[in-house]
Structure 1
Amino acid sequence: MARDQLQVLNALDVAKTQWYHFTAIIIAGMGFFTDAYDLFCISLVTKLLGRIYYHVEGSPKPGTLPPNVAAAVNGVAFCGTLAGQLFFGWLGDKLGRKKVYGMTLMVMVLCSIASGLSFGHEPKAVMATLCFFRFWLGFGIGGDYPLSATIMSEYANKKTRGAFIAAVFAMQGFGIMAGGIFAIIISSAFEAKFPSPSYAEDALRSTIPQADLVWRIILMVGAIPAAMTYYSRSKMPETARYTALVAKNAKQAASDMSKVLQVEIEEEQGKVEENSRDKSKSFGLFSKEFMKRHGLHLLGTTSTWFLLDIAFYSQNLFQKDIFSAIGWIPPAQTMNAIEEVFKIARAQTLIALCSTVPGYWFTVAFIDVIGRFAIQLMGFFFMTVFMFALAIPYNHWTHKENRIGFVVMYSLTFFFANFGPNATTFVVPAEIFPARFRSTCHGISAASGKLGAMVGAFGFLYLAQSPDKTKTDKGYPPGIGVRNSLLALGVVNFLGILFTFLVPESKGKSLEEMSGENEENENSNSDTRTVPIV
């Protein structure tokens, strides 16, 4: 038997879409815009770093980062992100969403700037400094995941909650695209002012001294949107669900939401105190009771996010390798350093514009219509289909006349990642767990995703590059490493389909209904312990 819901929470659930909803989306979404820019801009400049710091004097070929250095530069931010998701997710449930929200932005601002100022007389010193600051940049980014999702879910009404949370996450697409556009602009500007010859003309002069500024500027610009968002975040009131259900301050919750919703809301402090005395709701995280009610749910959110990020981050971080393998980006020795940045950025921006960004907004449009489960299942299914369609006849796609077809199908995998599990794995953990564990459980789910991102980043690097670089003399056709990687990612996506069946559907339900927080006793929580799929 359900309890009467607190008036302040019911008011949020049934509120019509208002300006404060869009304000919250913009404030939280700008954090994700910055997150995506900071995480993915490194893939635009890794080849430039190789040219600048690892060129062998007198060699006719441009320098490249050693595989272990490339893996560290690309993957270290994920290590920091994983740690930040766990730490700030836990802290958000202890200190409140608002108090911790601003901390993450300041870390991001400082470390974005510091990454661009990486110093050292030797290449190893520069790379070590860069990796150090990108770890802490990732730490700040990690905190943004559970806090942004939790705040948006607790502000939203139940009718359009999925769309609002997905809209926050969709800003990631604009962040990826912004990184590419800015790299195009800065590389074009430097090429116009400091034109440099190609390797064919002069190998020793193809990487101009000014090229060292390009990657630093691209990394430091990520501090600007984070700094712009800080003031707005500091003015947001604490969410009513945290204030009432965790901090047990019904008066403050009613006061805050009365101002936001512009309606009179009863305090109901007595009802909050009565709920806090309910022994059936005093169980701890990972207790027997928690595992009974939410164990399968947590397994579902962690496993699907882990599998999704193996595929998603592999594709994003190493697009340049795939495009080079099929000839969409010319060989490095045919262009100078700035040209290479320009062409990599152009390719990644085109993919973001045509598939990544539309995919996110398709999710926003349909998530509260067809539900989280259907979108996630559909996304994993089509990602599996397209990965195998690219991998099995891979030699067919490497022929010049078939490259456009490869790019189109490759773009579709991004579309269905974003109109699919990349969005839903972010949305669902913010909806199905109790308020006092919501940020923590979202952080755990997100951290499992970043563990998958590291598997993808490090694993794909070696799987895609090793055969191409070390075994061509033994008869391997060019690109066999990329083919194996695509096959592996197809298997990963298929596993995502299976684990999706552990994830509950939360469409149209209140947060308290999903978490069981408005139930009289544990025996009436059967709906929360089951695994509804439609």
Structure 2
Amino acid sequence: MAENIHRHHHHNPTNIGMIGVPHGPETGDDHLSMRGVPDKADEERIMKQLIYPDDTHTPDGTYWADLPFGQQMKFNASVDNAEAAKELKAIGSMTKKDPLSPIAWYFRNAVLPGAGLGLEGYVLFSIGNLTPLFSAAWPTCWKTYSDCNRTWVEAVQYLEVCGIIVGQILVGALGDGIGRRWGLIQDALIMFVGLLMLVASWGTTLNGWVICYCWALFFYGIGVGGEYPMTATAAMENATGSGRISTRDDRLHRGRKVTMAFLMQGWGQFFNQVILIILLLCFHHGSGNPPYSKVSAQWTFRVSFALPAVGTLWLVYYRYYKMPLASKALNAAKKRSSVTGYDMQSLKLTCNHFGGRLIATAGAWYCNDVFFYGNKLFQSQFIAVLSPGSKSIMTGWLWNLVNVGVSLCGYYLASFLIDIKFVGRKRMQQLGFLMDFVLFVVPAFHYKYYALETSHIKAFQAMYFLSSFFNQFGPNSTTFLVAAEVFPTPVRASAHGFSAAVGKLGALTAAVLYNYIDTQTKFYVVPWFGLAGMIVTFLFLPDTTGLDLKEQERRFTYIREGRESEYHGIAVHPRHLSIWERLRGAGKHYDPKLDYSSKVNDLRTEWAERQAERMDSEEGIGNEVDEEFPREVHDYFAQTTNVKAAISEKKQRHQPSSSSASASDEISNEKVSV
């Protein structure tokens, strides 16, 4: 947030850890062009500002995770406090100039990136909210099943989830193959057509209408499913950028950017419930009490689907015309690997090297969705306990509105804390699973005491609402983030889509289970999925909080080139590896000193490639600074690098017979020809 907010104000272009901004020639004594060929001392002074940014390393170049625990806390608290003060100051300045500018910033950085998930949350959870209305207006179809086939009525839940699973796998793969932008556009188009089908669903019989309604939900679900991997990857890659140079915003706020987009799902649920309440009052003569006419039910559900159709059509326009660079990071990764289309090599390498991470992201998501959708499906029984004998749909909807409000508190707290290194993704996910386990297992073994005795109903109510809070604060937010974050760019959408699809199998498990077991048995069964999720997270999930995502991409480049043992950077620091990966020896090559030399050569090669591209495009290089590099770094490479030799050395590494030796010494001994 700080980096984006500060674009409204002047800032120091050479701020350590941030991408340098082009500026005029320097004339001081330290400027490289005035001193001849730099020596080793020059290199260390110049490169350390880029390799050891001050928000992750101490002044002597020690990575924060290598410090003793007490010093880690002190260092990270200092960085976080300074960043928070900078953000508050920027917000104050923006508010002083324009009181509405912070709202505009939030709209651009949270509402627009998460608009698809907001619309998805609106419609997806509308299905459960509408079921009581359908049951009251058409009891012969939705209750006694005398006019409708029970299988098709129950398929309303199943086919929707099946459509989501298809979309998550299919669009995830397409997003990696054809690009994020087209994946986002096609998702919005599918959801728009699906909403038109829902609004227009009809049949000559009640059963015919239910069948039409089911298949409209299936089609809409494909778009919903694709929204998961597309939104997650686009939001993350927007935060990290397409270049090789890391940004302060990526390191300190990447998690918040993604979760701010994801929490729009909660707002979608909120507005759906509010709009349904308003529509029912409008079409039911200002009353929310039974009996409910078929006419009021028809108008309520059709208008509730027509409203998001307008927003979805606008989303198609926005993604087509206003997001031309959504695939920039993916295209850059494919270009570096000389890949077009779908990157099958990256998929195989991901399965071989990051299989444990797939277990973590898919397994934890499965366990979470049993809880998340179980909580929603169990809602009617919960409300029956709170309001025994009530036949009004409005009572259930109002209690649900309270539950959504509690959930939104969990979403926002997750967004605020997810980048704090002492809290972070992994600990939040474990805590959320643990609390859900406790909050369901306690009433399971004392069901009569909490659920059936009036004097203890409030304690039961508190546990139910707290389970919603901790589910959003923990696994429901973190699974969405880490399923994109722990995998390399070329297959990020596919891995996220696969994990999300396995998660939806958890939703399907809950939907099937809840049809065959009574209320108390639900409490006996469901908690153990929370315990299983906590164990899977503990063993298989790496903690990427505070990890420079560019380093993970750099590590994957080494793996792709068959030089995994030559990578010594922070992506294999024990702090950022799972217990499973540590036991398999993934962190044995971590060595900050060796990594420094390797990273200088990697940055040199990246710089050389960019210079070659600029020369080929007749832009020339001259004295114009490369915007990806701070000025001093650009000048240093310009004086010490042979562009052709640097690129040639990299090409040799891609050949099957290439040596895995370090970069050639001649790269740093010749000055580039301009």
Please indicate, yes or no, whether the TM-score normalized by the shorter chain is above 0.5.
yes
State the match for 1:257 in structure 2: none
Q: Which moved more, 1:301-310 or 1:342-351?
A: 342-351
Q: 2-side partners of 1:69 and 1:212: how far apart? A: 19
Q: What is the aligned counterpart of 2:493 among 414, 431, 439?
A: 439
Aligned to 1:517: 556
**Residue 119 of structure 1 aligns to a residue in which SS?**
coil
Select the residue among 309, 316, 334 that pairs with 1:223.
309
Once residues 208 and 122 of structure 1 are traced to their aligned partners in structure 2, the CA distance between those partners, rounded to angstroms, is 14
Q: 1:49 to 1:28 in 2, by over 3 A?
A: same
Residues 244-259 of structure 1: matches in 2 within 5 Å?
244-246=332-334, 248=335
Match of 2:546 in 1: 508
How many residue pairs were aligned? 462
Sequence identity percentage:
26
Is the contact made by 2:365 and 2:500 (CA closer than 8 Å) also made in structure 1?
yes
- The structural deviation recorded for 1:528 is 5.0
- Distance 1:285-1:79 versus aligned 2 partners, 3 A rule: farther
1:433 Cα deviation after fit: 1.1
User: Aligned with 1:209: secondary structure?
Assistant: helix
Amino acid at match of 1:73: V
Aligned equivalents of 2:308, 2:234: Cα separation in 1: 23
- The equivalent of 2:169 in structure 1 is 86
2:262 alignment partner in structure 1: 169
Residues 176-255 of structure 1 aligned to structure 2 (within 5 Å): 176-192=269-285, 198=290, 207-234=293-320, 235-236=322-323, 237-246=325-334, 248=335
State the superposition RMSD in angstroms: 3.2
Contact 1:114 1:220 in 2 (8 A): no
2:147 touches 2:207 (CA, 8 Å); kept in 1? no
* Structure 1 residues 192 and 20, CA gap change in structure 2 (3 angstroms): closer
1:312-358 deviations in whole A, cap 9, x for unaligned? 0111134123312x1426343xxxxxx42x222211111111x2000
Q: Is this contact kept in 2: 1:307–1:493, CA < 8 A?
A: yes
Distance change >3 Å, CA 62–CA 131, structure 1 → 2? closer
In structure 2, how many angstroms separate the alpha carbons of the residues matched to 1:316 and 1:56?
Answer: 22
TM-score using structure 2 length: 0.63
* 2:280 and 2:288 in contact (8 A); partners too: no
Partners of 1:510 and 1:307 lie apart in 2 by 28
Shift of 1:22: 6.0
Cross-structure match for 2:135: 50
Q: Is the 8 A contact 1:74 1:317 kept in 2?
A: no
Residues 529 and 438 of structure 1: is their aligned pair in 2 closer, same or farther, counting only changes over 3 Å?
farther
Q: 1:297 to 1:6 in 2, by over 3 A?
A: farther
Structure 2 distance, partners of 1:151, 1:109, is 20
Tell whether 2:388 aligns with 1:351.
Answer: no
CA 170–133 in structure 1, closer or farther in 2 if over 3 Å, else same: same
Cα distance, 1:208 vs. partner? 4.6
Which whole-Å CA distance do the structure 1 matches of 2:135 and 2:298 have between them? 11
Counterparts of 1:196 and 1:99 in 2: how far apart (Å)?
43
2:234 to 148, 151, 154: 151
Pick the aligned partner of 1:416 from 460, 470, 473.
470
What is the CA-CA distance between 1:283 and the residue it aligns to? 6.8
1:39 is aligned to: 124
Q: Is 2:454 the partner of 1:393?
A: no
The one of 260, 274, 284 equivalent to 2:345 is: 284
CA distance in 1, matches of 2:493, 2:388: 42
Quote how far apart the aligned CAs of 1:198 are.
4.6
1:472 corresponds to: none
Question: Does residue 368 of structure 1 match 2:419?
Answer: yes
Contact kept? 1:51, 1:64, Cα under 8 Å? no
In structure 2, what is the equivalent of residue 315 of structure 1? Answer: 375
Deviations 1:431-467, CA, capped at 9 Å, x for gaps: 111111011111111111111111112222332xxxx
Contact map agreement 1:294 1:528 (CA 8 A) in 2: no
CA contact (8 A) 1:376 1:420 kept: yes
Q: Describe the shift of the 1:312–1:113 C-alpha distance in structure 2 as closer, same or farther (beyond 3 A).
A: same
8 Å CA contact 1:40, 1:176 repeated in 2: yes
Shift, 1:303, TM fit = 0.3
| Residue 221 of structure 2, aligned match among 138, 146, 149 | 138
Change (3 A) 1:394 1:159: same
Distance 2:288 2:534 in 1: 49
Give 1:285 deviation, angstroms: 5.0
- 1:118 CA drift (Å): 1.2
What residue is the counterpart of 2:504 in the other structure?
A: 450
Q: For residues 66 and 394 of structure 1, what CA distance do their matches in structure 2 show?
A: 34
2-side partners of 1:32 and 1:312: how far apart?
Answer: 16
Amino acid at match of 2:494: T
Which amino acid is the alignment partner of residue 407 of structure 2? T
Question: What is the deviation of 1:178?
Answer: 1.0
Greater Cα radius of gyration, structure 1 or 2:
2
Amino acid across the alignment from 2:202: F
Higher relative contact order (CA 8 A, sep 6+): 1
SS in 1 for 2:204: coil
Letter in 2 for 1:380: F
Q: Distance in 1 between matches of 2:452 and 2:152?
A: 28
Partner of residue 634, structure 2: none
Secondary structure, counterpart of 2:523 in structure 1: helix
The TM-score, its normalising length taken from structure 1, stands at: 0.79
Match of 1:121 in 2: 204
Q: Deviations over 1:375-423 (max 9, x none)?
A: 0000000000001122221112223333232222101001000110000
Matches for 1:422-433 after TM superposition, within 5 Å: 422-433=476-487
Q: CA deviation at 1:179?
A: 1.1
1:379·1:417 contact (CA, 8 Å) conserved in 2? yes
CA contact (8 A) 1:21 1:155 kept: no
Deviation >4 Å, runs of 4+: 5-8, 13-22, 61-67, 195-199, 525-531
One-letter code aligned to 1:385: V
Report if the CA contact (8 A) 2:152-2:214 is conserved. Answer: no
d(CA) in 2 for partners of 1:294, 1:491: 26
What CA distance in whole angstroms lies between the structure 2 residues aligned with 1:190 and 1:36? 24
| Structure 2 gap segments, 5+ residues each | 1-16, 21-49, 56-82, 91-103, 240-249, 580-674
How big is the shift at 1:121? 2.0
